[in-house]
Chains A and B, each alone.
Chain A
């Protein structure tokens, strides 16, 4: 059909924009009126290009195209070429480029500004298939009989012929030629899909060697994360994640113990079902991170959630909370929680979630936690995220806290990419110690429970001052922050520049100066890093020097100059294998350390 249309276009080219003559499979179209008023952008693609004729695009009269319409081709690199529609069919059109040397590749995007008025009229050219009864699948093996116009139109009305042994065995019910490809193909339910497995294995080895004889650390980890889709024919998903690790710490301190043990840790072992577009409800059982409200933590239990048509979700869970430690001891902290997530639309640009968690530690009332969070993620504009963890205390049980609500954690993030060349972000963090019977963090003193807190504010800004990453540009960045706690206050700052294209297209030189006022120390220093960053491998070397001052140590000898060097190499392969090797050297006044790192990962 395209060939016929292309032949059709030849006399049209000679005659200029005019009505196309009748032809098998083609229709008669008016010449495009002057394009004025409001328009709608119709996008398409070049499917073929024929010398002497032009480019064929996959948009036609049913998309509102007329002969004479102006077409804009966008090629890689951002250049645009123009053309004119010379002939139109239902779903295809022939376009003559204005630049005779322009020969668009198949797949080249094209767009046409079509006046909205065309869509408001009766269908410009109703394809014959729309006016006829739904297609009837011919008997198996039946061919296309006849020829000429009738045969061509008959071919349009028929669904795709099915091969007896084809994997593509589902009928294109109600599909007609004027519809997008695959528009009405029936989806296959998750339970009807083949079982498949994916995941990763990893091995990491980190060692710290110290010039002080009796100090050192070794940490080796080997793990597996496995996802099984539809493993039991029910459409569910199995998730397994665990690792074996070996840790050895040697310390010269006679009172603080080192360690030399091998551990197995099971992070996830769960089965979930539902939560797809076919099934709004979702269940998950086993050990898993709660999907509806991850803030409620890993659970040994069950979670249920559901979704409304407007995109809102809600859910509840019950089970035991493993401790957030390498042992992940469980079955001491019973948790019951529920949450609701509101979304502004199914696009979820704005969402707000609130949830409540109640826990008991070995049967004793422990935590009453309310978590609220808001997320606003427009494509353009400010991105905003905030969450707040509020604990409720009863002074009869929680003697170090006042009755009522207390803000335990809070995060506010606000960021915006102002243009292609600059962006800014702000952050705020608040943190206190919740009073819990459950082991959630290392033990603290009662007075820390009572009044310890830390607030942190941060600002980050960056700007390309010369080109971009692709154009050997330079990026200037600034990070500043401030913190305050129950006793002290301080801050930090870092100013740097990343220079792209140094010693090669993929080379980058980063230079930064930084300083900070910490709670016990302050420092000021500088950092230089050079690296080459390719699509499948990268390496970098770093040198850093900084002067530390132990601010509250009043007896002199409170300065410490530190140097650090680092080499890092990373690569990954199409097979899913990736590796990372690194070496750090840390030089201090009386001792030095060597850090060796190895990480291997195979995805499958």
Chain B
């Protein structure tokens, strides 16, 4: 069994995940349902006085089946992606006035796992559908270390050990920082003894590391 899982990690993962989803998604999200036990909801002082526009029954707990609230039209704030399916009380609760959190952007509600090191424009890298990052290669092209050769073909975690938990800074970009084991084994000639520990790019290409070309101006 374990052998099969290791041989087919994607298939095993999807099957496990399907099982997990089946367990936790017995019912759909109660987006609009409100129950008095949930605590206070947004003050209704600006709402229409005709309660039946939204409520039905006699206990205020259920909204009408065809309840629809155009958040953008009514408030000027569009709900994008998964926010459009979030329960109202995820935002409208008793932490404080919603506009205080709203004007701080994503950081008003979501914790900053990048601990303030990547700024506040989360949408540079994340969508609002499922928070899976996108466009990392395009973003990397705007840094001082554009990815090319095999550097564009490896997992982020190989250079950013903290990537899985959102930590990217600082990341050293000198060749020696990642290729120190190669330096130690470079004996023809012995790079370490000659003091060739920096400026590797003068002789080596990032695509063909083993085919070094001698820089005629290199200071021997």
Name the one of B40, B104, B152, B153 contacting A187, with C-beta atoms under 8 angstroms.
B40
A481 / chain B contacts, CB cutoff of 8 Å: 142
Q: How far is the CA of A375 from the CA of B197 in the complex (A)?
A: 43
Q: How far is the CA of A294 from the CA of B59 in the complex (A)?
A: 42
Residues 2-41 of chain B, each 1 if its beta carbon lies under 8 Å from chain A, else 0 = 0000100110011011001100110011010001111110
A596 to chain B, nearest CB (A): 8
Name B14's closest neighbour in chain A (CB-CB). Answer: A203
* With contact pairs A294-B111, A441-B172, A580-B132 given, residues A181 and B85 touching in the complex (Cβ less than 8 Å): no
Beta-carbon contact of B111 and A291 below 8 Å: yes
B138 to chain A, nearest CB (A): 7
Number of interface residues of B (CB under 8 A): 117
Does B46 belong to the interface (CB within 8 Å)?
yes
Name the one of A91, A429, A445 contacting B174, with C-beta atoms under 8 angstroms.
A445
B149 / chain A contacts, CB cutoff of 8 Å: 560, 588
Q: How far is the CA of A186 from the CA of B182 in the complex (A)?
A: 69
Q: How far is the CA of A432 from the CA of B46 in the complex (A)?
A: 51
Does B47 belong to the interface (CB within 8 Å)?
yes
Beta-carbon contact of A377 and B103 below 8 Å: yes
* With contact pairs A203-B14, A575-B29 given, residues A564 and B137 touching in the complex (Cβ less than 8 Å): yes
Beta-carbon contact of B36 and A385 below 8 Å: no
Q: How far is the CA of A590 from the CA of B210 in the complex (A)?
A: 14
Count contacts between A and B, CB distance < 8 Å: 361
Does A182 belong to the interface (CB within 8 Å)?
yes
Beta-carbon contact of B144 and A433 below 8 Å: no
Name B70's closest neighbour in chain A (CB-CB). Answer: A76
Beta-carbon contact of B46 and A601 below 8 Å: no
Does B61 belong to the interface (CB within 8 Å)?
yes
Name A460's closest neighbour in chain B (CB-CB). Answer: B121
Q: How far is the CA of A325 from the CA of B87 in the complex (A)?
A: 34
Q: How far is the CA of A246 from the CA of B167 in the complex (A)?
A: 19
* With contact pairs A183-B45, A220-B13 given, residues A550 and B206 touching in the complex (Cβ less than 8 Å): yes
A349 / chain B contacts, CB cutoff of 8 Å: 103
Does A46 belong to the interface (CB within 8 Å)?
yes
Q: How far is the CA of A102 from the CA of B5 in the complex (A)?
A: 66
Q: How far is the CA of A203 from the CA of B45 in the complex (A)?
A: 43
* With contact pairs A45-B47, A201-B17, A255-B182 given, residues A170 and B36 touching in the complex (Cβ less than 8 Å): yes
Q: How far is the CA of A359 from the CA of B104 in the complex (A)?
A: 30
Name the one of B43, B48, B144, B205 contacting A106, with C-beta atoms under 8 angstroms.
B48
A373 to chain B, nearest CB (A): 7
Does A477 belong to the interface (CB within 8 Å)?
no
Does B154 belong to the interface (CB within 8 Å)?
yes
Beta-carbon contact of A523 and B146 below 8 Å: yes
A58 / chain B contacts, CB cutoff of 8 Å: 48-50
Does A142 belong to the interface (CB within 8 Å)?
no
Name the one of B6, B10, B38, B100 contacting A193, with C-beta atoms under 8 angstroms.
B38
In the complex, the 7 A-B pairs of residues with the closest C-beta atoms, listed nearest first: A180-B45, A555-B213, A58-B49, A203-B17, A45-B48, A47-B50, A324-B162
Known: A441-B172, A562-B152. 7 other contacts (CB 8 A): A215-B150, A265-B164, A325-B161, A326-B164, A445-B177, A448-B174, A518-B145
